[in-house]
Chains A and B, each alone.
Chain A
């Protein structure tokens, strides 16, 4: 069952140097229980896509074009109060840094119970039980005792588990995890990813997993979207995309799989750097770096070809991929 559909989403930021598009024409979909990986260089627009879906684009940024549908209903034009009720309840978010994601002056229990009570009409005692239950589900030992302690009394990995519990405690249908392991020790990264995968299978929550780690994508995601300069250049089943990438940028990414924990600001195997939003070339944004550049590439922007579940935006790809 499709939970989320995004169609031709464009987010723009009016600024002094004119309006820039942080993301352009982004289309994707995620189904219940599915994990959609999202990769791309820094600044490609991964976080911005997530922010748009959850309705937290920082002003003056706004959605200029496109639609976001959650279970068929449009959510991109909701009033702020309706959107607030939806956040946490139907769409959860997990951020990168567990050390700064939790409020230092409130206990873990206070933060969980408040989140639960904001969305579900439960008396405090039941909300507390639910909070303890969630701490247990994300693997916090002795949750009955730990619930009344403060975030600083947890290690980084444990805090990220708490963050996951907070994102899932009102049982949303979709959770956006923006680089949930980047700030963690290498040794706990795998545990957190495994936990996310387990919870996705158990609860049927759809997951958008943003990461720089192709290894994580290969192991965890069902499908993957590759972003470049604000656009999705390739999207499809992980097995297809990783073994038979159709876009030259994806091929380049595959060739430069970084070691775990490394954050590739630029890709050594692909010459040059990704253009900033205000300096994108007219045709394909990847053309200046593309080893297979053709004359048409600098003239005409390739539109995504294919379906919502498998598409490529490249002039090399003539036919619709299977």
Chain B
């Protein structure tokens, strides 16, 4: 287990170095940064001075090394747009995205797993057919369309829920949370529904397919032949085997949620990292874009490693220690 962990961490470091390289290259592709830092009529000497001060006269690999070293401490320099530290900007925006993704992920699991089980256990019932139909819609409608429909129905027509912003937030240290006020909670509903809809239907369909597969296996037939109760067969014998592959997909999807949050944040003017990223793109604010890229990749890597570890904990066949077949 320890060896596995160490291997995964080393792998992750390489992945992050590669991502950092891409982020670093972005600065190059955006043209000479000195142009945007000096006055238009600056002399060559002035430009060289700036270049030297920023270390841009050094060989590329030295610059990359410095970039990585500073990124490792969370230092991505100043935003080109408003000259504030990028790390501060991201830290301000992080809680909004984190809370949105957390709620969406929670919703998709809490609804997706029970609905998947229900539709697997009653494959021919009317409710299953209905759910399958709506899940097909959920999986095929573009998310911004569902978002706009949600706003139309619940904000414009019914006026129940706000259509933009986070409502009132409460600061706990550097973290600003919307969980503690009614308006904050209300503001979370529509964006998290929009964000979770795709994952929810995906998880529901996945759980259903896996569960139906598991219910056909020999060990379930044998459990029935031993007279175990349906409850135990479904929720003890079948569910655990069903959830093992579901966890992997969910982990991968969690990363996807963060990525998709960009769209949701744009539709609902949600002040999160995704919205910050979109602004950065439109202003060509490379340090913010680079930092976002690195941060999101880091989250992906952490999630994937966690999923692999969880997988090993849940599936005894993957626990290598002591797994010796007796002959």
Give the B-binding residues of A (Cβ under 8 A).
Answer: 54, 56, 84-89, 92-93, 95, 97, 100-107, 114-115, 118-119, 141, 146, 150, 152-155, 158, 163, 166-167, 170
Contact = CB atoms under 8 A, between A and B. Distances in A.
B2 to A, nearest CB: 21
Contacts of B221: 56, 95
Contacts of A56: 221, 224-225
B241 to A, nearest CB: 6
Q: Which of A85, A101, A105, A107 has the most chain B CB atoms inside 10 A of its CB? A: A105
A153 B223 contact: no
B127 interface: no
Given A85-B227, A86-B227, A105-B240, A154 B222 contact: no
A173 B222 CA distance: 18
A86 B225 CA distance: 10
B8 interface: no
B226 to A, nearest CB: 4
A166 B229 CA distance: 15
B316 interface: yes
Contact of B218 (A95, A119, A154): A95
Given A100-B219, A104-B219, A105-B244, A152 B323 contact: yes
Interface of B: 217-219, 221-230, 232, 236-237, 240-241, 244, 314-317, 322-327
Contacts of A155: 325-327
A84 B225 contact: no
Contact of A88 (B217, B228, B325): B228
A87 B225 CA distance: 6
A141 to B, nearest CB: 8
A87 B323 CA distance: 32
Contacts of B327: 155, 158
A167 B228 CA distance: 12
A101 B228 contact: no
B242 to A, nearest CB: 10
Nearest to B216: A58
Contact of B316 (A100, A101, A105): A105
A153 B218 contact: no
Contacts of B317: 104, 150, 152
A290 B6 CA distance: 69
Nearest to A89: B227
A78 B227 CA distance: 14
B218 A100 contact: yes
Nearest to A112: B226
4 closest cross-chain pairs (CB), A and B: A88-B227, A87-B227, A93-B225, A88-B226
A152 B316 contact: yes
Nearest to A85: B227
Given A87-B226, A105-B244, A166-B226, A100 B323 contact: no
Contacts of A141: 326
A103 to B, nearest CB: 4
A167 B219 contact: no
A154 B227 contact: no
A3 B267 CA distance: 72
Contacts of B236: 106, 114
A89 B217 CA distance: 22
Given A103-B237, A158-B326, A150 B316 contact: yes
Nearest to A188: B327
Contacts of A101: 218-219, 222
Contacts of A95: 218, 221-222, 225
Nearest to B232: A114
Q: Which of B219, B221, B327 has the most chain A CB atoms inside 10 A of its CB? A: B219
23 contacts: A56-B221, A87-B224, A87-B227, A88-B226, A93-B226, A95-B218, A95-B221, A95-B222, A101-B218, A104-B241, A105-B241, A105-B244, A105-B314, A105-B315, A107-B316, A118-B227, A118-B228, A141-B326, A150-B317, A153-B322, A155-B325, A158-B327, A167-B226
